[in-house]
Structure 1
Amino acid sequence: MSVLDHFLAAGPLTWAALVPAAVLLVHLVPWLLDPHHVRKYPGPLLARFSDAWLGWVAAQGRRSEVVHELHKKHGTFVRLAPNHVSIADPDAIQDVYAHGNGTTKSNFYDAFVSIQRGLFNTRSRPDHARKRKIVSHIFSQKSVLEFEPYTRIHVATLISQWDRMCEQGAKGMSGPEGEGWRGADGRVWLDCLPWFNYLAFDIIGDLAFGAPFGMLLAGADAAPVATSQKAAMESYGQEAAAKVQYFPAVQVLNDRGEYSASMGVLPPHWRPLAVRFIPWYRNGGEQVKRLAGIAIAAVAKRLTAPADRADLLAKLQEGKDDEGNPMGRAELTAEALTQLIAGSDTTSNSSCAITYHLAANPLVQQRLQQELDEVLGNDDEAVATFEQVKRLRYLEAVVNEGMRVHSTSGIGLPRVVPDGGITVLGEFFPGGTVLSVPTYTVHRNRAAWGDDADVFRPERWLERDEKAMQKAFNPFSFGPRSCVGRNLASMELLIILASVLRRYHFVLETPEMKLDIREGFLRKPLECRVGMRRRSV
């Protein structure tokens, strides 16, 4: 009888003993052998033997904060998983993420693939270089200026809605149940987060798909999702494009981010088991499909009636690689999905977080409004232009400080060390080791930011050594895999915040209110309840 036959013939009691023994060996042997020489680095006990610890932390929605506390306890180097070391030092950013160091994205990014690999989640260096060549010119400063009119249209719609609410709120009226605002004490009291979500989705919908989702006008979160995704991907016909259902897009995006960020830290062979046996992961998988369906439906609709307009989709269609080849339908849709996710999340999260910090810091809000009044006070236009606000020093300081303290992308983005290894801060790491630099923690580095690094204080951008701060400022990542859309994000934030803060004054609903955050891939506010009134300029 063969060894295999012995195993197959084993009874339940034998299996009950063998399975735990096998699990123990799978996790204990790598720790004993220590092939990547990481056993010396401190960290949670379970993290030394299993990826389960990081998977559990990610699923709780507080990964950046947990890792930050570990670095405060253990220092610069912390082991997060059997083969993953987090390095909390601004100098490590260059070593881990810069051009020419040979590091590649880890299998963490496989959990973010839905339609096909896009610029964000491709792990192949040649494939990424090809995609970036096609996409990067779209987000040059010159191209971004062509997108400004679309941004300003939707900011004007937001202002129109908020003006209506302020006018009615001043009379003591309250809004419809769906809008969730009330008038009292001369202000409108509302959760501003949904409105920043609606704004961001309508802007990126208009830019990426040729038409807004209509969330601002409806005051509601809803987007069409292709129900027959294969047909919509393969056909340019109206029939395929029309087969949709409506889902709350913001919630779908949030659930997908939490699912992918927690799934991505699990070993690949665990992932099918997690989806099969854990309902939370199973629901997340459905949200991945729905989010892809939003892009598929929007692209299918856009391509049935092409418009003569300078939007993202048109520029993606025009782009060609070194061999003169354009993107195929699936690749085009995948890149449009990437822009939908990145363009909506960064803008809405940052706008909301910065509004919260301004409401919580009246003197900062006052100083910003004074600067805006001096520049925009006599302008009849409700919405600022990029030309008017792009060089306002205090506005830029407020935006930078908001992105520092809030750290929309706060986790350490994992990179695989190439064959031959690399040295980081004097420590050698052999090929195959996974390294990351946690943005949330680096953005609180006291050497770079001062002893008040945990405090929202824009003045530091005008007082301290800007070179040292920029070295530790990493809101869009760094190197060849940095955010390609940073110019667009920066333009949107400057226009949105300048226009909104020039027109309205904000206070917190309760002075002690904290901004509650839940983290998937990005750190998202859950609610931001403020009192808002029109300013007289």
Structure 2
Amino acid sequence: MLGYFFSVITAIAAFGYFIVVPLIIYFRDAKGLRKYPNFSFLSGISNLPFIYEAHKGFRSQALLKAHQKHAVLRIGPNALSFGTKEAIKDIYGHNTKCTKDTMYKVLAGSHYHLADVIDKPEHARKRKMLSSAYAIKNLEGWEHKVADITGRLIKSFDARCTAPLVEGELPSPEDQAIDYRMWSNLFTVSAIANIGLSEDLGFLERGDDLVTAEAPDGTLSKVHFRECLHATAWAQSNLVWSYDWFQTFIRISKLVSSKYRQKWRLNKDWDGIVRHRATTRFKRFQAHEQLDDFFSALLHDKSGVANNLEWGEMVAEVSIMMNAGSDTTAIAMNNVMYLLLKNPPCMKKLREEIDETLDEDEAVAPYDKVKHLPYLRACLDESMRLLPPTTFGLPRKTPPEGAAVVEDYIPGDTTVSISSYVAHRDPSVFPEAELYKPERWLGEEGKNMQPYFIAFSAGARGCIGRNISYLEQMVLLASLLHRYEFALPCPDWEPTRRENFNLSPSAMPLKVWRRKNDEED
């Protein structure tokens, strides 16, 4: 009897906490957010509908459809999504009063890294420390590393080339020897490990991403880099939207779902991958190796004065470098190849530009030759417009006194965002937005669209690694299109895509063969 009584009390308490209290808050409407249309029926009362949408795998596509009816949507009790270009400057611009949202605090480890630090002075300190390593003038110092990695990938592709495709025929399954999604990712991880940590992972030689992870007690194990990184993003991006309940949801998910248990285990392995990269590189510093990489910027400034960072901060910076420095660029590389193969006239025009620039026997495109090619840059930007690697609305928080967004006062401490997937489809900026049209980026028209291109975010919190990303994308794409022909499994083939924090495509099998007149180089 007593047990039944406590069960009833618990049920009543739960009903009050989860239903009655949110309803009271909703109808009391202290912030005046009830005037905005709800993304889903219960969005004004609970974050659970957005968490449900996250599990479906493409939040930004659902937001795009909803924003075609409403410029502003309430996606949670304290969160607004914007769908018009004017919101970009107000939320992300250099003079915005908005700061990084609570989400970044919820996901941060023991120390903040450059991408999740919320405090503006602390962000300024970090950016100053790292900006010299990422500056355009220093790209020449990293070009030889990118060229080396490109040469390694070419050697692996050469070994997997097939006979030319007979016109009118489809590639046989056995000739689809290259998963370009995987290989582009092996390329970017190898590149950032070399540029950032002076480490040779051997991925491109082996054709796999097996890497050493280190547990807190020093135990070493072999794990798969991509599996661990993507599992971490999958689990976090599904549950993080209810900030106060995130840790509770983690515990519940481990109890009720074998899939979640596997993802969180792989998340620990991701931490182990980062830990081993950092400890290995630091041991080389202690052994007095003089290495030229990003990690050096963590150790000391340009004058050689020690930064004396805490170990946790150095590990955090290695984590974001290995994460953001590899996955987004790989997605961009995969997408531009896919879109060029789906749009042969664009592929033909780009090849002509590249062939006119490179010597016939140049296997690796020198960055100095391709960095100013207008159509190459246009193809990359159009790909990142149509399929931004990071699609979700990067959340920001209004200051305590509130702020104006698109001339509408938004109360203080409210989450605001705009998805790049949505922003890049604003027809007033990008006519025929669903079409792949690199030409739109050429001339004055292209310059006028740049303020609304947010593949790398915008303002003071914009991606510090965009120059490195362009370097890698330009060198690799120009090199591959100059040397090879590619074919999808069939003309109407399409990948599946899953939105975590990034919009990640599935495997992309390709048939690859050498172009005519290239056989002897």
**Pair in the same fold by TM > 0.5:** yes
The answer for the alignment partner of 2:301 in structure 1 is 319
Return the letter of the residue paired with 2:337. T
Please give the alpha-carbon distance, in whole angstroms, between the structure 2 residues aligned to 1:505 and 1:315.
40
Residues 253 and 291 in structure 1, CA contact (< 8 A), matched pair in contact too: yes
Return the letter of the residue paired with 1:272. T
Secondary structure at 2:404's aligned position in 1?
strand
How far the C-alpha of 1:115 sits from its partner, in A, is 5.1
The answer for the alignment partner of 1:81 in structure 2 is 76
Return the letter of the residue paired with 1:361. N
Aligned-pair identity (%): 28
Q: CA distance change for structure 1 residues 117 and 186 in 2, over 3 Å: closer, same or farther?
A: closer
Secondary structure at 2:209's aligned position in 1?
coil
Please give the alpha-carbon distance, in whole angstroms, between the structure 2 residues aligned to 1:417 and 1:282.
35
The answer to whether 1:533 aligns with 2:521 is no
How far the C-alpha of 1:426 sits from its partner, in A, is 2.0
Please give the alpha-carbon distance, in whole angstroms, between the structure 2 residues aligned to 1:89 and 1:421.
20
Please give the alpha-carbon distance, in whole angstroms, between the structure 2 residues aligned to 1:255 and 1:59.
13
Q: CA distance change for structure 1 residues 510 and 30 in 2, over 3 Å: closer, same or farther?
A: same
The answer to whether 1:255 aligns with 2:231 is yes
Residues 147 and 207 in structure 1, CA contact (< 8 A), matched pair in contact too: yes
Please give the alpha-carbon distance, in whole angstroms, between the structure 2 residues aligned to 1:494 and 1:314.
26
Alignment of 1:363-382 (within 5 A): 363-378=345-360, 380-382=361-363
Secondary structure at 1:446's aligned position in 2?
coil
Please give the alpha-carbon distance, in whole angstroms, between the structure 1 residues aligned to 2:283 and 2:353.
46
Q: CA distance change for structure 1 residues 304 and 324 in 2, over 3 Å: closer, same or farther?
A: closer
The answer to whether 1:194 aligns with 2:167 is no
Return the letter of the residue paired with 2:352. Q
The answer to whether 1:53 aligns with 2:49 is yes
Please give the alpha-carbon distance, in whole angstroms, between the structure 2 residues aligned to 1:150 and 1:190.
23
Return the letter of the residue paired with 2:273. I
Please give the alpha-carbon distance, in whole angstroms, between the structure 2 residues aligned to 1:8 and 1:478.
57
The answer to whether 1:356 aligns with 2:351 is no
Secondary structure at 1:356's aligned position in 2?
helix
Return the letter of the residue paired with 1:296. R
Residues 87 and 437 in structure 1, CA contact (< 8 A), matched pair in contact too: yes
Return the letter of the residue paired with 2:51. G
Which of 189, 192, 195 is residue 204 of structure 1 equivalent to?
A: 192
Q: CA distance change for structure 1 residues 406 and 488 in 2, over 3 Å: closer, same or farther?
A: same
Which of 182, 190, 213 is residue 225 of structure 1 equivalent to?
A: 213
Please give the alpha-carbon distance, in whole angstroms, between the structure 2 residues aligned to 1:50 and 1:479.
31
Q: CA distance change for structure 1 residues 350 and 270 in 2, over 3 Å: closer, same or farther?
A: closer
Which of 484, 492, 500 is residue 480 of structure 2 equivalent to?
A: 500
Please give the alpha-carbon distance, in whole angstroms, between the structure 2 residues aligned to 1:56 and 1:384.
45
Residues 299 and 333 in structure 1, CA contact (< 8 A), matched pair in contact too: yes
Residues 393 and 420 in structure 2, CA contact (< 8 A), matched pair in contact too: yes
Which of 459, 462, 465 is residue 482 of structure 1 equivalent to?
A: 462
Which of 254, 260, 264 is residue 240 of structure 2 equivalent to?
A: 264
Residues 405 and 454 in structure 1, CA contact (< 8 A), matched pair in contact too: yes
Q: Identify the range of structure 1 (214-223 vs 98-107) with the bigger mean alpha-carbon deviation.
A: 98-107
The answer for the alignment partner of 1:419 in structure 2 is 400
Which of 264, 277, 280 is residue 298 of structure 1 equivalent to?
A: 277
Secondary structure at 2:299's aligned position in 1?
helix
User: TM-score scaled by structure 1?
Assistant: 0.89
CA RMSD of aligned residues (A): 2.4
Please give the alpha-carbon distance, in whole angstroms, between the structure 2 residues aligned to 1:185 and 1:37.
58
Please give the alpha-carbon distance, in whole angstroms, between the structure 2 residues aligned to 1:314 and 1:18.
55
Alignment of 1:39-438 (within 5 A): 39-43=34-38, 44-72=40-68, 74-114=69-109, 116-166=111-161, 169-170=162-163, 184=172, 188-227=176-215, 229=216, 240=218, 243-276=219-252, 277-279=255-257, 280-306=259-285, 307-319=289-301, 325-378=307-360, 380-438=361-419
Question: Structure 1: any 5+ residue segments left out of the alignment?
Answer: 1-6, 173-181, 232-239
Return the letter of the residue paired with 2:79. H
Please give the alpha-carbon distance, in whole angstroms, between the structure 2 residues aligned to 1:446 and 1:76.
13
Q: Identify the range of structure 1 (154-163 vs 288-297) with the bigger mean alpha-carbon deviation.
A: 288-297
Q: CA distance change for structure 1 residues 19 and 90 in 2, over 3 Å: closer, same or farther?
A: same
Q: Deviations over 1:400-445 (max 9, x none)?
A: 0111111111111111100221111221101011100111011111
Q: Identify the range of structure 1 (340-349 vs 91-100) with the bigger mean alpha-carbon deviation.
A: 91-100
Aligned residues: 504
Please give the alpha-carbon distance, in whole angstroms, between the structure 1 residues aligned to 2:467 and 2:239.
30
Please give the alpha-carbon distance, in whole angstroms, between the structure 2 residues aligned to 1:258 and 1:480.
27
User: TM-score scaled by structure 2?
Assistant: 0.91
Secondary structure at 2:116's aligned position in 1?
coil
Residues 391 and 421 in structure 2, CA contact (< 8 A), matched pair in contact too: yes
Secondary structure at 1:447's aligned position in 2?
coil
Return the letter of the residue paired with 2:198. G
How far the C-alpha of 1:463 sits from its partner, in A, is 6.1
Q: Deviations over 1:436-466 (max 9, x none)?
A: 011101111111011x111111111126622
Return the letter of the residue paired with 2:351. Q
Q: Deviations over 1:85-124 (max 9, x none)?
A: 1111121111011233221111212343235211111222
Residues 109 and 264 in structure 1, CA contact (< 8 A), matched pair in contact too: no
Question: Structure 2: any 5+ residue segments left out of the alignment?
Answer: none
Q: Identify the range of structure 1 (148-157 vs 507-516) with the bigger mean alpha-carbon deviation.
A: 507-516
Residues 160 and 512 in structure 2, CA contact (< 8 A), matched pair in contact too: no
How far the C-alpha of 1:70 sits from its partner, in A, is 1.2
Secondary structure at 2:46's aligned position in 1?
coil
Q: CA distance change for structure 1 residues 319 and 115 in 2, over 3 Å: closer, same or farther?
A: farther
Secondary structure at 1:449's aligned position in 2?
coil
How far the C-alpha of 1:184 sits from its partner, in A, is 4.8
Q: CA distance change for structure 1 residues 518 and 66 in 2, over 3 Å: closer, same or farther?
A: same
